[in-house]
Structure 1
Amino acid sequence: MTTLTTILHVDDDEDILEIARMALQLVDNFDLYQCNSGPKALEMLDDVKPQLLLLDVMMPSMTGPDLFDIVRSNERHRDIPAIFMTAKAEDEMSKKLLEGGALDVFTKPFDPMTLGSQIRTVWAKREKEIANCKT
């Protein structure tokens, strides 16, 4: 089972970036990289080599789902999974994101004290599913 260490978090809200940074980097000790736009995230992928994308759904110029589609279309990055974060937790949108390959959809506002454990739980479930497919 692969341990999750490196996350690329993309959100256009500076307050969300800071709260997530404190939660994920300082409390949960992830190697966390952040940026505020999809185009910047694309520029960072090769250097960061994230194991997981944590993506805001609604961002100007490039939405989280659009960014995820672009990442998945690149052979080098197509296996990087994503968790989406959204203030609009509509069942239909969450269902569409999950059907599109998202590991999970978290609702904003999120609890910074449990964000890291939520991510680890989703990651562990994914790792278990991968292991079950190999047997």
Structure 2
Amino acid sequence: MRELKRILHVEDVPSIQVITRIALEKLGGFEVLSCPSGQAALEQVEAFAPQLILLDVMLPQMDGVELLRQLAERIDLSDVPVVFLTGNLQFEEHDELSRLGMHAVLHKPFDPLQLAARLRTIWEERHHAV
């Protein structure tokens, strides 16, 4: 099984973006590309080639649901777990998001000290199931 190294993080709130980046880079040892919008993520996703995508639902101009739809058109999400980190996910969206490639939902507020370990667990579960 490959080791998880590259995470694309999409979050528009600067303070959450900084906390998440520190948690993943400094504590987790990951390479993180932080994008403040869905459009920025779409522009950079192919060049960055993330192994896991961590994204918020509430984003400016394009919400996380639409971003997931558009990401699925650009890259193969069958091998890239998508994890929503959000305080707002409607249950009726869950089935559609799972079909599009969502693997898990982590809720805000989250424990920055546990975030890297949680994502590693999701990665390992995803790759042992394949």
**TM-score calculated relative to the size of structure 1:** 0.87
How far apart are residue 98 of structure 1 and its match?
A: 3.1
How far apart are residue 89 of structure 1 and its match?
A: 5.2
Say which one has the larger Rg.
1
SS at structure 1 position matched to 2:102: coil
How far apart are residue 119 of structure 1 and its match?
A: 0.4
**Structure 1 segment 1-135 matched on structure 2, within 5 A:** 1-74=1-74, 77-79=75-77, 80-88=80-88, 90-94=90-94, 96-130=96-130
- Residues 113 and 94 (structure 1), Cα distance of their counterparts in 2 relative to 1, 3 Å cut: farther
Q: How many residues align?
A: 128
Letter in 2 for 1:9: H
Q: Is the 8 A contact 1:98 1:105 kept in 2?
A: no
How far apart are residue 52 of structure 1 and its match?
A: 1.0
Structure 1 unaligned regions, length at least 5? 131-135
How far apart are residue 46 of structure 1 and its match?
A: 2.2
Deviations, residues 78-125 of structure 1 (Å, cap 9, x unaligned): 223310011125544445533442110000011000000000111100
Deviations, residues 41-90 of structure 1 (Å, cap 9, x unaligned): 0111122111111010111101111111111112xx12233100111255
Distance in 2 (CA, whole Å) between partners of 1:4 and 1:97 is 22
Structure 2 unaligned regions, length at least 5? none
Distance in 1 (CA, whole Å) between partners of 2:68 and 2:93 is 15
Q: Is the 8 A contact 1:56 1:84 kept in 2?
A: yes
Distance in 2 (CA, whole Å) between partners of 1:28 and 1:11 is 18
Letter in 2 for 1:122: I
Percent identity (aligned): 38
- Residues 15 and 96 (structure 1), Cα distance of their counterparts in 2 relative to 1, 3 Å cut: same
Distance in 2 (CA, whole Å) between partners of 1:97 and 1:104 is 10
**TM-score calculated relative to the size of structure 2:** 0.90
